[in-house]
Every structure is written in structure tokens, then in C-alpha cells.
Amino acid sequence: MFRTTARAAAAMAAGCAIALLYPAAPAGAAGSVHLHKIYYDSPGSDTRSNTSLNAEYVQIKNSTSRGVSLKGWVVVDASRHAYTFPSYTLGAGRTVTVRTGIGSDTSATKYQDRRAYVWNNTSDKATLRKSGSTTVDTCSYNSSRADYKMC
């Protein structure tokens, strides 16, 4: 009896040790609408040109098997710069890019129509909220060594 209990305990301990090697599923795991990427430091000098502003963006991914209405959903940074989605449905498995500058919206790209940068080059936090202010996802970064963060 003791050998069986000792073997079971050893097997359980080994299983727990192996489980610790694998990280838990991220907030953006399959079956959700989540922040996917923040490109916070556009290439080149920060000249506030529209090209430079539009090289700064956040991406939202729908990893569900159906379209999701984002009407009224908000993407906001730590300084409360907010972009609110108009009537818009993000298709199943699709990603939408929300660019900082001015442009013509398409099904894959939305524009905030700003003339100044939103995302800080060293640290910031993106929050995705449903229209009723329920937080869906957050993504933070704290590095000047990279230009973007995969969430």
C-alpha cells in the first residue's frame, strides 16, 4: 500500500512540475475578441506627419467562429485618448487595425483622425472595453528597446 501511495504522490508531483513549465492561456486565447498588437513607436523621426501617425496603431483580433459587433466598443490608452468604434462588425478570425492618423476607413482599417501621437514610445497601457464599460482586455508595455508589443 505504501509503495502505491508513494508512486501516486511522485507521479502527481511530476505532473505538477511539468504543468508549471507551460504558461497559462493568455487573455487573447482562442475564442475571444482581444488586443493583438500595439505598434507604439512608428519608424523614423516623430514628425507628426500623417504617414508617421498612421504607422502607430493598435490591432484587435476576433478569434471566435462568428462575427462580433464592436459598435460602441472603445480602445483607450493610459492618458485616456479614446477611439470608439462606429457601427462595425469584426468578422470571424479577422483583425482590425486602428491607426492614429487620418484616412478612409475600410473593413480592415479604422482611423482615429488625430494629428498627434497616442501611444507613448516607452510605456503605456491599452484597454479594450465593450460599450457598457466592461473591460474585455488590456495590454501594457514598458520598453524603449522595441517598437511594438504583441499582446
Contacts 24+ apart (CB under 8 A), 121-127: 121/40, 121/41, 121/46, 124/38, 124/40, 124/77, 124/78, 124/79, 125/77, 125/78, 126/35, 126/38, 126/58, 126/75, 126/76, 126/77, 126/151, 127/74, 127/75, 127/76, 127/77
CA atoms within 13 A on the CB side of 130: 8
Q: Is the pLDDT reported for residue 33 higher than 70? A: yes
Please say if the pLDDT value at position 126 is more than 90. yes
What's the pTM value of the predicted model, to 2 decimals?
0.79
Model confidence at 108: pLDDT above 50: yes
Specify the pLDDT at position 83. Answer: 98
pLDDT at 31: 76
Residue 12 predicted with pLDDT over 90 = no
Domains of the chain, earliest start first: 33-150 (2.60.40.1260)
pLDDT class of 35 with cuts at 50, 70, 90 = very high
Q: Is the pLDDT of residue 114 over 80?
A: yes
Instruction: Encode pLDDT of 64-89 as tens digits.
Output: 999 999 999 999 999 999 999 999 99
Share of the chain above pLDDT 90, in %: 75
Identify the CA nearest to 75 among candidates 98, 107, 105: 98
Q: What is the average pLDDT value for the chain, to the nearest integer?
A: 85
